[in-house]
Amino acid sequence: MSVAIGVATAPRSAKVSVGALSTPGRRVQRGSVARSAKWVAAVLGATLLAFAGGFVLFTSVVARYTPGANERADAIVVLTGGELRLAVAAKLLREGRGGRLLISGVNRQTSLEDLKRISGLPDRLFNCCVDVDYAAHTTSGNADETKAWAKARGYKRLIVVTSSYHMPRSLTELRRTLPGVDLFPHPVVSNKLQPRRWWADPYTARVLFSEYVKFLPSAARYAVARLARWEGSALAGAKLHASGP
């Protein structure tokens, strides 16, 4: 006698594919990745926009710099590195616009005789009223050496001489190290640069962009220094208030 053995099979409607089970999870994951990508793109776009806007603002500031006609101060500081800077600073000293001149950032291979020749100052005026800084090698170094010089002599008003494109970074570094000193910019404008039409001159655009990139870390250091001074003042005020009657 034969016995038929049947095998039960699941109905077609009961079959569930692995892909169907995982589809909702995959959709959630893809949606999360898409939102993250959009967020990153938005942040990068905003950063790029801020960077470009800052550069345009930087160029407009450089273009507006003009030498003051009659500014007078306790002393003059010239940051070496560009053409005509020392000659312009020496002229201000001869005119009595400041009582003393600091030449900051001089190459060690440059002698005092070289400086006298470049400045055009007579021996008497150079020997009595000019100080030479060989220690500084960067703009922040210029600021540190100027701080020590101004503090030692009690100067509270300084005329700053440097190239126009270098002035924003120079003033930022000097304001970081000399918060209580009044600074008067006296920019030196090179005939090679066209800051008012920088977009039409590749050389000017390259110089300004390079200087802008260098300016950003200086601005960050200045912001940190200001915040530290503010926090220090606030803490001192709080202690004074706590110890009061």
Tens-place pLDDT, residues 187-221:
998 888 888 899 999 999 999 999 999 999 999 99
Angstrom distance (rounded) from CA 94 to CA 169: 27
Q: For residue 7, what are the contacts with CB-CB under 8 A and spacing of at least 6? A: none
Give the closest residue to 146 by CA, choosing from 175, 110, 119.
Answer: 175
pLDDT tens-digit map of 69-104: 788 999 999 999 876 999 999 999 999 999 999 999
Determine, yes or no, domain membership for 1: no
Are 189 and 167 within 8 A, CB to CB? no
Angstrom distance (rounded) from CA 124 to CA 1: 136
Give the closest residue to 161 by CA, choosing from 131, 141, 201, 189.
Answer: 189
Determine, yes or no, domain membership for 212: yes
- For residue 118, give the CATH number of its domain: 3.40.50.620
Determine, yes or no, domain membership for 57: no
- Radius of gyration over alpha carbons of the chain, in Å? 32
Enter the pTM of the model.
0.78
Determine, yes or no, domain membership for 25: no
Determine, yes or no, domain membership for 44: no
pLDDT tens-digit map of 14-36: 454 544 445 666 666 666 777 77
Determine, yes or no, domain membership for 175: yes
- Total number of domains in the chain: 1
